[in-house]
């Protein structure tokens, strides 16, 4: 992908404080985009902003809970005030709890659905009207292999990500032809959260998924970010309503 593939474009990246979200934010800035970084941890977002500054690009920070529609509204307001437009929305933020269903709590269920599905819905509701006025835009949501690969300990997480995939297809149909909406279904990726799970792996969720991968390793945040940027870029201009699987071959059967 050309270094300046996103030159003059403005992107909103959720979950930009760490992991895949941080990788997406730094990578898209390095390819020319102005970036609004959205997340709950201001100090961690500031670290991402520092890394982006090294690329020579401008960025802004919006701190808040994505379950709150006002956070999405502030992200849009910030992008318009600083950059005058929103060309890309990458919904990367999410929660990855593991627990067998009968061991889950009401809080775990609600927080997982809110983080993974409601937050994605809130951001799309805020951003899509801006893209419609512009006449163009690209939305990339984050799904997971868990949405299609039954894994003990990930039932609630799987339900939330299956919802993201259904939502992605429906919104793509609603807002074509001007706005493209796709999702990346990530396989197990070596983020800090997954590394912590691997250290204990009480439910066997991580080891079960990893052992099924033909590539016999976890992905990296940068590898998933490359998939996100492809779907956000003009190189995927004839692709919408699709789920791109980046999972080490885990679903090839």
Catalytic residue list? 157
CB burial readout 190-207, b (16+ within 10 A) else e: ebeebeebeeebebebbe
Closest CA to 162 of 154, 172, 173: 154
Going by C-beta distance under 8 Å and a sequence separation of 6 or more, which residues neighbour residue 43?
none
* Rounded Cα–Cα distance for residues 46 and 17 (Å): 8
Question: What is the phi/psi pair of residue 149, to 5°?
Answer: -110, 105
- The H or E element spanning position 88 is strand 88-91
Strand partners, 89: 12, 139
Tokens standing for 217?
């390793």
């Amino acid at each position: 992908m050309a270094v300046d593939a996103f030159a003059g474009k403005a992107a909103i990246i959720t979950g930009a404080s760490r992991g895949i979200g941080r990788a997406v934010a730094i990578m898209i800035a390095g390819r020319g985009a102005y970036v609004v970084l959205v997340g709950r941890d201001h100090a961690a977002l500031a670290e991402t902003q520092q890394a982006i500054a090294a690329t020579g690009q401008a960025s802004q920070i919006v701190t808040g809970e994505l379950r709150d529609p006002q956070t999405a509204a502030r992200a849009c307001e910030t992008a318009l005030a600083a950059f005058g437009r929103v060309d890309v929305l990458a919904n990367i933020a999410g929660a990855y709890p593991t627990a067998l269903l009968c061991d889950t709590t009401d809080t775990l269920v609600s927080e997982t659905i809110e983080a993974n599905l409601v937050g994605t819905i809130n951001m799309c509701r805020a951003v899509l009207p801006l893209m419609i006025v512009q006449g163009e835009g690209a939305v990339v949501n984050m799904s997971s292999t868990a949405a299609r690969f039954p894994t003990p300990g990930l039932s609630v997480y799987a339900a939330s990500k299956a919802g993201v995939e259904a939502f992605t297809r429906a919104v793509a149909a609603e807002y074509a032809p001007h706005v493209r909406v796709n999702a990346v279904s990530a396989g197990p990726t070596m983020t800090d959260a997954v590394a912590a799970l691997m250290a204990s792996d009480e439910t066997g969720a991580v080891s079960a998924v990893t052992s099924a991968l033909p590539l016999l390793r976890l992905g990296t945040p940068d590898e998933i970010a490359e998939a996100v940027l492809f779907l956000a870029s003009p190189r995927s201009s004839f692709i919408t309503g699709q789920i791109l699987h980046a999972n080490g071959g885990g679903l090839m059967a």
